[in-house]
Amino acid sequence: MRFMRSFIFVFIGALLIGLSSCWNGSKVADKKKGLVIVNVLDKEYFDDSHIKGSINIPFVQVKQDTPNIVDKDAEVVMYCSNYMCSASGTARKQLLDLGYKKVYVYEGGTAEWLQKGYPITGLSKKEYLKMKLPKPEGKQEDYVLSAEKLKKKMEENEII
């Protein structure tokens, strides 16, 4: 009986320690570091087609989920569907407000990436992927990456 009681106390203690780490979100060691490519589209669109090696944090969850998934010192590139979508730019601002320093935007999104023949994961069945949109004219901000610059960064970091 005494053995059983000791076992129960040890088991409950271990369980509580495990649960307390869950309440604090991901452990720092588990957070993504280096170059992290983030698709901010809803899961349905991410599952259909996304840049190979990217992760999904839907736009409505960026503020609450990113700190649990991505290290603040990471180099983060946000992207969405195409040049018409502003979610990646807004998500970038949210990350800056959270204290992230190296946050970029790939405005061409999944559609341009696919059209250029770059590595994609998924069946790519959604209609928006067929739309060919011109790149916006004018001076691009330093935080805006072209498909070519993003691809080069990903190759240098051995993501693709």
Please, which residues have CB within 8 angstroms of residue 15's CB and are 6 or more apart in sequence?
A: none
- pLDDT at residue number 139: 79
**What whole-number distance in Å separates Cα of residue 28 and Cα of residue 25?**
9
| Cross-strand bridge partners of residue 35 | 75
pLDDT number for residue 149: 97
pTM to 2 decimals? 0.81
**Res 2: pLDDT:** 53
CATH of 28-156, one of 3.40.250.10, 3.40.47.10, 3.50.50.60, 1.10.3720.10: 3.40.250.10
Q: In what order do the strands lie in the sheet with 102-106?
A: 55-56, 35-39, 75-79, 102-106, 144-145
Residue ranges per structural domain of the chain: 28-156
Q: Looking only at Cα atoms, what is the longest distance across the chain? A: 78
Per-residue pLDDT in tens (0 to 9) along the chain, 160 residues: 554 444 344 334 433 334 334 444 445 568 999 999 999 999 999 999 999 999 999 999 999 999 999 999 999 999 999 999 999 999 999 999 999 999 999 999 999 999 999 999 999 999 999 999 998 888 789 999 999 999 999 999 999 9
pLDDT of residue 7: 39
d(CA 131, CA 14): 54
Q: What is the DSSP letter of 24?
A: T
Distance of alpha carbon 27 from alpha carbon 45, whole angstroms = 28
Closest CA relative to residue 85, chosen from 60, 120, 109, 50 = 109
Residue 29's pLDDT is 63
First to last CA, the chain: 58
How many residues are given for the chain?
160
Which neighbouring-strand residues pair with 144?
105
- Which neighbouring-strand residues pair with 56? 39
